[in-house]
Amino acid sequence: MARLDLSAAQVAVLDGQAHTARALWNLLHEYVTFRQGRFPTVKECDAAIRAARHEIDWMGQLPAQAAQAVLKTYRQAWANSNSRAPSAWSWWKT
């Protein structure tokens, strides 16, 4: 089994990205749940993430593709665990 042998600097970068991804998950959850029953569209979530990456310094640590992966995973987890989730949240086909 091959293992990654990361330098201390690489570990620090990955750790920072992991914390930023967790924070983005929490922000997405707040964005979705505190909208008084109006579920945001994928486009609205994407626009909010893009704005946050420009306006909040530490959000820039997370690459754009990773932020999109967090959004995709969050939407799938929400749809899987919440029967009230709109069917429109099945926004990708596998």
Which candidate, 14, 28, 12, places its Cα nearest to that of 67?
A: 28
Q: Residue 16 CB: number of other CB atoms within 10 A?
A: 13
pTM over 0.85: no
Q: Name every residue whose Cβ is closer than 8 Å to that of residue 78 and which is 6 or more positions away in sequence.
A: 32, 85, 89
Find, among 8, 27, 33, 24, the residue nearest to 69 by Cα.
24
Tens digits of residue pLDDT in 28-59: 998 888 877 678 888 999 999 999 999 999 99
